[in-house]
């Protein structure tokens, strides 16, 4: 249908009612969070002033989350109305995956007469919420005067939300009867990373002489969270690697 608009000038303008205008804006959220879809990020209008008749049908759902009604958490939905959006009843819930920093869903919005395709993008900010876990701390057996690589089988940190280069061992007490090496140089920075261990760059070289129990003490950190996990318990004091 058409609306006739009379102005003071003799011109007559014909404005089509029913044509859908769609506006979307990318949504930013923290991974694992829920964000409400509002008219600021998703708005369809057709000039009728009846948002309840503008229906969104999800054609391609999100990959790293789902669209839900706020009052029915955990249940993905495949359709909703512009009125639902205006009433802030619809949300996107991120699944806490770290595969990608973006997600989106595609849809068709229709008023029964006209339809328009669109998509809404989600930009996910990564966070570090989980402290690292000291998975292996098995110590080392070495002969007098010998040198041995400290591998992930001996010493290993894991962390679901931190890259390996962020997992640091900070030396508090050095060995007494030998030295730690990083590559072909004596360790001097008071720390090394899990990447160093995985690349077999960390080694211990015994001074020789009578065999004595040796050790070094450290704290494990991802440089964000306080402490580290050992056997499911948060630990904030020193850990000891026995040689």
Find the helix or strand (DSSP H, E) in which 18 lies. none
| Cα 66 to Cα 130: distance, rounded to the nearest angstrom | 23
| pTM (two decimals) | 0.56
Is the predicted pLDDT of residue 3 greater than 60, yes or no? no
Is the predicted pLDDT of residue 12 greater than 50, yes or no? no
Instruction: For the chain, give percent helix, strand, coil, nearest 5.
Output: 5, 45, 45
- pLDDT tens track for 152-167: 999 999 988 788 999 9
Count of structural domains, the chain:
2
- Identify the domain containing residue 117 by its residue range: 14-125
Q: Are strands 65-69 and 178-182 parallel, antiparallel or unpaired?
A: unpaired
Judgement on whether residues 144 and 85 belong to the same structural domain of the protein: no
Closest CA to 95 of 74, 77, 119, 69: 74
- pLDDT tens track for 185-217: 999 889 999 999 999 999 999 998 776 789 999
- Position 13 scores a pLDDT of 36
Q: Among 90, 125, 160, where does a domain finish?
A: 125
Residue in this structure with the two tokens 């876990």, named with its chain if needed: 133
Is the predicted pLDDT of residue 9 greater than 50, yes or no? no
R_g over Cα of the chain: 30
Q: Among 109, 125, 141, where does a domain finish?
A: 125
**Domain assignment present for 7:** no
Judgement on whether residues 220 and 139 belong to the same structural domain of the protein: yes
Question: DSSP letter at 145?
Answer: T
* Average pLDDT over the chain, rounded to an integer: 89
**Domain assignment present for 116:** yes
Judgement on whether residues 143 and 215 belong to the same structural domain of the protein: yes
Question: DSSP letter at 76?
Answer: B
């Amino acid at each position: 249908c058409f609306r006739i608009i009379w102005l003071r000038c003799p011109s007559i303008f014909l404005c089509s009612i029913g044509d859908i205008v769609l506006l979307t804006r990318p949504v930013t959220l923290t991974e694992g969070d829920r964000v409400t879809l509002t008219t600021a990020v998703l708005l369809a209008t057709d000039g009728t002033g009846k948002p309840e008749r503008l229906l969104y049908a999800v054609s391609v759902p999100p990959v790293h989350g789902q669209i839900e009604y706020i009052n029915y958490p955990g249940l993905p939905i495949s359709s909703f109305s512009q009125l639902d959006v205006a009433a802030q009843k619809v949300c996107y819930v991120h699944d806490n995956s770290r595969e990608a920093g973006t997600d989106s869903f595609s849809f068709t919005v229709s008023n029964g007469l006209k339809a328009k395709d669109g998509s809404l993008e989600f930009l996910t900010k990564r966070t570090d919420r989980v402290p690292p876990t000291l998975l292996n701390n098995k110590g080392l057996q070495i002969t007098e005067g010998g040198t041995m690589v400290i591998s992930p089988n001996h010493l290993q940190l894991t962390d679901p939300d931190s890259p390996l280069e962020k997992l640091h061992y900070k030396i508090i007490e050095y060995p007494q009867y030998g030295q730690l090496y990083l590559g072909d140089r004596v360790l001097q920075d008071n720390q090394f990373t899990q990447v160093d261990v995985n690349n077999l760059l960390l080694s211990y070289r015994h001074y020789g002489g009578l065999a004595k129990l040796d050790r070094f003490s450290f704290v494990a950190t991802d440089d964000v969270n306080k402490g580290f996990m050992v056997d499911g318990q948060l630990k904030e004091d020193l850990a000891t690697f026995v040689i």
